[in-house]
A and B are shown apart, each in its own frame.
Chain A
């Protein structure tokens, strides 16, 4: 049994964000982290492997060469193999082109009955939640998104899918693709032996040529050229500054605020 986990290295957008003069994000100037939802996806894969020692967990990412650091961490957590898809041709891809490239990589790895592809629900830099379902569609396999529970017994997969007002219980055939959210589990830490061993595990990089045997992969179908969507304009909001800053931060300030709210008939 093969479990492929798609992971992404993202800028840490929870802290300060560096912005270039042209209004785009200065990724090089920002710290990177493993995308949080993807770590829940990896944990889910590792739990299946814990119960099914024959299972092989492969972490797959697309990104620049430094993505290796994240993939090594995944290996240290317990993944068996890592594969980075990396090439200039793949740069500037939107979710559609990204999913085409990852789909070709998964196809080359080979997907059989019993196999599972895991993704995080969404990455914190784009927040689109689109790449997972698009991979599933291009592979022609069923998907379940927003997964908060997984039961895997005798090759039968039953998952719980979160809705805003409840949940669905779904039996799904394999191979399939599941996207995971943080309520699913708590990702494990890297173990000491894992860290020691992570450089001895198989690590491969596939470039454009490695995937160009796939009929869907040409210079026209990957990266910026293969992206149906384009950024037309990007901008920051103007400073409004129309509000009133109150003096002080004590009882008198709070009472002043309440009288202002009363004057304006807000309360």
Chain B
């Protein structure tokens, strides 16, 4: 029978695309499996990891089980060694059409954001980009809204079903929206790296994982591009996601961007951290995109997050509000950043920034 994305009852299970580059699985895959595990448990279904590549290391495949996968589909083919839109889309869609998962999660890397929409269009289903929260259980969704929204949850009607409720910042990151895809399957989402937390590795579940090798049907003629080369960047990228301390700058530095960035670097050096930036600063070309914190950048869970001259649009807050201690310096005392800040100072970052760095340096020196 032909594949029909509207036959919702025929779909079962939660899938996660586990992207590999050079044979190494990206952290996003583990994060999404950890999140997918919760969804699969709420639904009472199987969680499957999907691994495409060539000569895949079986230990890596097995490791996906340690993060929650009941089953790992292994798709191996010389043409799958490196990513191509056509090759990966064909193999994934063939398998989805055969196995029919109800939920399919993809990491929103540059590759995932190329693959996701192509797959969704071929399967004739919906795709929600860059989700920051996922629920299938209505009670859990209500709990989520109670702590994160202005909705009067107890006086609002909710349909009792297990459709995926995918929440993301919307309208340029000024509002949150929960998106559903009630009439089509699979319900597809992309999730930014670092947004979901990786669960601890579990030896016992890894041992139980079923590895299933898929018979891949792929031909060179299926791929309409010719991948000439892949070059790794010589420049070391900033590790925002793994950093304990992030000092970020926003539009407030625009009066003197060079000095503003210096102030952030000095503070980051003293605190042993790295420099982040809001979207405005990245869009203005003042700092490379790998420094961007927020929905379209990186999500950080820092011990200390300093926001200098950042007003705090939702899309930025989405990337940093789970940090343990947030220090905000902004000239505008009513800036939304102060709503999430642990400590706030109303003042000019060009004046307060260096003074704060000095005070921290003095404290650190006194402890040596």
Contacts and interface: CB of A to CB of B under 8 A. Distances in A.
Q: Do A and B come from one complex?
A: yes
Interface of A: 11, 13-14, 17, 19, 23-25, 36, 94-96, 99, 122, 124-134, 136-138, 141-146, 158, 161-173, 176, 182, 227-246, 248-251, 253-255, 257-258, 260-262, 264, 266-267
Contacts of B326: 243
B304 A134 contact: no
Interface residues of B, number: 96
Contacts of A238: 147-150
Given A133-B121, A237-B317, A254-B359, A163 B130 contact: no
Contact of B226 (A124, A170, A266): A170
Contact of B271 (A125, A146, A170, A267): A267
A14 B280 contact: yes
Contacts of A234: 170, 175-178
Nearest to A251: B355
8 contacts: A19-B174, A133-B117, A137-B89, A137-B122, A166-B232, A171-B226, A238-B147, A249-B347
Nearest to B315: A127
Interface in B177-198: 177-184
Contacts of A125: 171-172
Given A130-B117, A134-B121, 7 more contacts: A127-B172, A161-B110, A227-B126, A233-B149, A235-B177, A240-B340, A244-B342
A127 B296 contact: yes
B229 interface: yes
B171 A13 contact: yes
Contacts of B299: none
A11 B180 CA distance: 24
Contacts of B362: 258
Interface string B270-301: 01000000001001010000100001100000
B342 to A, nearest CB: 5
A144 B82 CA distance: 14
Given A17-B171, A36-B283, A170-B228, A134 B118 contact: yes
Given A229-B179, A229-B181, A254-B359, A136 B118 contact: yes
Interface in B289-335: 290, 295-296, 303-304, 314-315, 317, 324-327, 329, 333
Interface of B: 21, 82, 85-86, 89, 109-111, 113-114, 116-118, 120-122, 124-130, 145, 147-151, 165, 169-184, 224-233, 237, 271, 280, 283, 285, 290, 295-296, 303-304, 314-315, 317, 324-327, 329, 333, 338-348, 351-352, 355-356, 358-360, 362-364
A233 B339 contact: no
A227 B109 CA distance: 24
B326 to A, nearest CB: 7
B345 A249 contact: yes
B320 to A, nearest CB: 13
B153 to A, nearest CB: 10
Contacts of A127: 129-130, 169, 172-173, 295-296, 315
Contacts of A164: 109-110, 237, 290
B108 to A, nearest CB: 9
B178 A232 contact: yes
A227 B128 CA distance: 12
Contacts of A170: 225-228
B128 to A, nearest CB: 6
B55 to A, nearest CB: 20
B225 A173 contact: yes
Contacts of B295: 127
